């Protein structure tokens, strides 16, 4: 469309817009809209990264399934020590080799990148070996179940300048949350007062298994000795995302935990609450339970001008009566939440209007945060990998400083790095410790630093 | 037998002669930093550009060419420049994808340039003054070769480096590239402008 052309608005569109405007005197949904893609762009395969997936539990298989939907990924090897999981993994990636030893994936020169989805306490050995083998690494979060292991992984990733390392903090790659980040950082919600996150899902976490050995391996999340429990397996994503929005590191964490419902021999709490304190006084409460499903999972950021609620791929803003008028919100869609009205926050809404695409009630980005996280990872692997290849083909490997300078100037997709992975892991480990002790723990600035 | 040996020595001498001569040429190789090539174009939405700092290749001068005091006229020189297509980037990944596809990157991974003729337009007043050159060469894009004539400026950088700068305009269609379009959204213009800075450093002959 020529930029000088005007968007034609017929009578029905106009009435629809006006009706929307009149309806919108309540809550506004904050929704990032999907950018328009040309048909030919959708069919183009710009590159393919040859991947190996290590760890084929439920989440590992979800990763394999997600990679199979990404045209830029080619899963050529999968690995698990348990034959039944390996079989399910190879079924999900029919053109892949099924291996029972991760070292065979690392030895395979064709594998460019690996995704590590094993139990958390096994990450260190595999991640260090993968980086040593020159592979690009996507390592699930938390990076490890101890500060020492997390630091070892992060430092190895920092040193591997020619490789991409991305922790599995998928909320940071979610386009809707990226849109909200800019919105919040621009001051749309005012001064941060507090934040709240919850995850409610009635489920046991215990999986059935054919023998005691397998039972122990399979249910590692219930083992206090190696698992960070709900803080590490679930809440880490919300703690990290909200700290990201608050643009601060907490100075203390207080935790509480109880085993209320699933008294099946486990000692891991099935219900936890954590309170993080931030410089300036803002607090984040984060609660999780395996004993009740009411209201599922969401995050809310409370500011002096508005509260912003994020639920899956959607978000809404609830404005204070004395908050300044932003202007656009009168045109936005609004949804009712009991006595509150939420203004839908939709990313790229203005751009879409210019392209005459009509707004719908559907969520703009329908893929999962994991999809976008892996998409960013693959794009960055291609950018860094091809840059290293082309640079060394022309200038050799002698001038390391020049190569690092060249790599540092490459524009990468926004994605979390080793530092952010380490910091999120520190949050989860400290929260888990606070829950176990039922106490308040100070978090020093040094606790988040890699030295 | 003796005649056979003489013949062999003669053939070897003939084959070795050009090699020997080539070794005496003064070579400047592309440097990993200090270069930039930019491609700029237009579209119905906005102007666009892609660029890369990665430019490989070399320039060789006949040992008779006096870099300290160049004279007007033809220079016996060889130039090969290569640019990996996938290193040309804008700030839009989607646009890059369309561009690589239009340039048939999977089949033709590099843009190549080979010099055919170089002429010093006017002798510089001092050794540090820019040297104005007229060049004729061949530009290979997307597997299609076109003759290219452009003025180039050469500047000495320190004791052992040469920087070449220049710009020219080409048409995408002359290289068999259809200017990318997205139906109903935008179309790009056929003309693109190439601008470059290319830093080379003297390569000492192997001892």
What percent of chain A has a predicted confidence (pLDDT) above 70? Answer: 87
Residue written as tokens 């879409």? A352
Cα dihedral across residues B169, B171, B175, B177: positive or negative:
positive
Q: How confident is the model at residue A107 (pLDDT cuts 50, 70, 90)?
A: very high
Cβ pair B101, B178 in contact under 8 A? no
Reference A416, options A160, A137, A237, A168; nearest CA is: A168
- pLDDT range class, residue A349, cuts 50, 70, 90: low
| pLDDT tens-place string over residues B109-120 | 999 999 999 999
Angle at A386 between CA A384 and CA A392, to 5 degrees: 100
Which residue of B31, B33, B54 is in closest CB contact with A390? B54
Q: Which two tokens stand for residue A263?
A: 């008294």
* ipTM exceeds 0.85: yes
Residues in chain B closer than 8 A to A38 (CB atoms)? 98, 182-183, 185
Residue closest to B37 by CA, chosen among B190, B158, B170:
B170
- Averaged pLDDT score across all residues of chain A: 89
Single pTM value for the model: 0.87
Task: Count CB-CB contacts under 10 A for residue A295.
Answer: 10
Superfamily of domain A175-354: Dihydrodipicolinate Reductase; domain 2 (3.30.360.10)
- Domains, chain B, with CATH or none: 25-202 (2.40.128.110)
Between strands B77-84 and B56-61, the pairing is antiparallel
Do A406 and A413 touch, CB atoms closer than 8 A?
Answer: no
Asked whether the bond before A6 is cis by omega within 30 degrees of 0, the reply is: no
Q: Nearest to residue A378, comparing CAs of A388, A389, A386?
A: A386
- Tokens for B38, please give them: 């930019």
If you measure CA to CA, which chain A residue comes closest to B44?
A2
So what's the pLDDT on residue B46?
84
- Which CATH code, of 3.40.50.720, 3.10.310.10, 1.10.132.20, 3.90.1530.10, is assigned to A39-173+414-418? 3.40.50.720
Phi-psi region of A356 (alpha: psi -120 to 50; beta: other; left: phi over 0): left
pLDDT at A35: 44
Distance from CA of B98 to the nearest CA of A (A): 7
**Alpha carbon separation from A158 to A123, A154, A165, A168, A419 (Å, rounded):** 16, 6, 8, 16, 8
Per-residue confidence band for A4, with pLDDT thresholds at 50, 70 and 90? very low
**How many other β-carbons are positioned within 10 Å of the β-carbon of residue A14?**
10
Task: Find the residue in B nearest to A41 (Cα).
Answer: B98
Percentages of chain A per state (helix, strand, coil), in multiples of 5: 40, 20, 40
Q: Which of A36, A38, A386 sits opposite B86 (nearest CB)?
A: A386
Banded model confidence at residue A438, pLDDT cuts 50, 70, 90:
very high
pLDDT by residue (tens digit) across B142-178? Answer: 999 999 999 999 999 998 999 999 999 999 999 999 8
Chain B window 165-204: which residues touch A at a Cβ cutoff of 8 Å? Answer: 182-186
For residue A390, the chain B residues in CB contact (below 8 A) are: 54, 84, 86-87
Which residue ranges does chain A devote to CATH 3.40.50.720?
Answer: 39-173+414-418
Question: CA quadruple A138, A53, A229, A288: dihedral positive or negative?
Answer: positive
The vertex-A180 CA angle with A315 and A278, nearest 5°, equals 105
Nearest to A361 by CA among A327, A313, A408, A329: A313
CB pairs A-B closer than 8 Å: 68
pLDDT at position A89, please? 95
Q: How confident is the model at residue A30 (pLDDT cuts 50, 70, 90)?
A: low
Comma-separated ranges of CATH 3.30.360.10 domains in chain A: 175-354
Q: B182 CA to chain A: closest CA distance, Å?
A: 6
């Amino acid at each position: 469309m020529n930029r000088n052309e005007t968007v034609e608005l017929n009578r029905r569109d106009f009435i629809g817009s006006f009706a929307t405007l009149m309806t919108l005197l309540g809550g506004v949904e904050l929704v990032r809209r999907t950018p328009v893609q040309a048909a030919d762009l959708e069919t183009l395969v710009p590159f393919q990264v040859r991947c190996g997936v290590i760890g084929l539990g439920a989440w590992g298989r979800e990763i394999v399934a997600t990679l199979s939907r990404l045209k830029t990924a080619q899963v050529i090897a999968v690995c698990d020590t348990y034959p039944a999981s390996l079989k399910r993994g190879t079924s999900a990636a029919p053109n892949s080799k099924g291996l029972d030893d991760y070292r065979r994936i690392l030895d395979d020169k064709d594998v460019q990148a690996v995704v590590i989805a094993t139990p958390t306490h096994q990450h260190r050995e595999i991640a260090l070996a993968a980086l040593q083998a020159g592979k690009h690494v996507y390592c699930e979060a938390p990076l490890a179940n101890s500060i020492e292991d997390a630091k070892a992984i992060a430092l190895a990733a920092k040193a591997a300048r020619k490789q991409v390392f991305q922790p599995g903090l998928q909320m940071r790659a979610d386009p809707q949350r990226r849109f909200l980040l800019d919105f919040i950082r621009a001051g749309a919600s005012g001064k941060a007062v507090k934040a709240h996150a919850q995850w409610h899902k009635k489920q046991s976490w215990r999986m059935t298994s054919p023998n005691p050995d397998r039972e122990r391996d399979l249910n590692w999340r219930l083992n206090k000795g190696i698992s960070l429990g709900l803080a590490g397996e679930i809440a880490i994503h919300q703690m990290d995302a909200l700290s990201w929005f608050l643009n601060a590191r907490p100075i203390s964490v207080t935790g509480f935990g109880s085993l209320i419902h699933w008294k099946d021999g486990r000692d891991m709490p099935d219900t936890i609450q954590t309170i993080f304190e931030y410089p300036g006084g803002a607090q984040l409460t984060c609660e999780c339970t395996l004993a009740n499903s009411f209201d599922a999972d969401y995050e809310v950021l409370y500011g002096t001008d508005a509260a912003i609620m994020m639920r899956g791929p959607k978000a809404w803003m609830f404005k204070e009566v004395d908050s300044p008028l932003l202007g656009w919100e009168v045109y936005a869609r609004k949804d009712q939440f009991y006595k509150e009205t939420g203004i839908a926050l939709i990313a790229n809404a203005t751009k879409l209007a210019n392209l005459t695409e009509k707004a719908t009630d559907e969520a703009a980005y329908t893929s999962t945060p994991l999809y976008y996280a892996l998409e960013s990872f693959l794009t960055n692997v291609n950018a860094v990998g091809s840059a290293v290849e082309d640079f060394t083909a022309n200038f050799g490997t002698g001038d390391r400083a020049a190569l690092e300078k060249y790599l540092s100037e490459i524009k990468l997709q926004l994605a979390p790095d080793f530092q952010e992975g380490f910091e999120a892991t520190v949050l989860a480990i400290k929260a888990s410790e606070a829950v176990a002790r039922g106490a308040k723990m100070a978090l020093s600035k040094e606790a988040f630093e890699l030295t | 037998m003796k005649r056979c040996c003489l013949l062999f020595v003669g053939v070897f001498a003939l084959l070795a002669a050009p090699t020997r001569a080539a070794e005496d040429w003064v070579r400047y190789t592309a440097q990993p930093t200090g270069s930039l090539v930019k491609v700029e174009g237009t579209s119905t939405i906005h102007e666009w550009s892609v660029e890369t700092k990665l430019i490989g290749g070399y320039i060789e001068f006949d040992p008779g060419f006096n870099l300290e005091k160049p004279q007007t006229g033809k220079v016996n020189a060889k130039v090969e420049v290569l640019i990996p297509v996938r290193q040309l980037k804008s700030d839009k990944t989607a646009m890059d994808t369309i561009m690589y596809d239009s340039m048939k990157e999977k089949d033709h991974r590099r843009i190549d340039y080979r010099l055919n003729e170089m002429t010093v337009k006017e002798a510089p007043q001092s050794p540090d003054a820019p040297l104005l050159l007229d060049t004729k060469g061949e530009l290979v894009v997307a597997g299609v070769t076109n003759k290219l004539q452009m003025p180039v400026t050469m500047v000495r950088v320190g004791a052992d480096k040469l920087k070449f700068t220049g710009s020219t305009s080409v048409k995408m269609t002359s290289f068999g590239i259809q200017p990318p379009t997205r139906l109903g959204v935008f179309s790009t213009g056929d003309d693109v402008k190439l601008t470059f800075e290319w830093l080379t450093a003297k390569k000492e002959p192997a001892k």
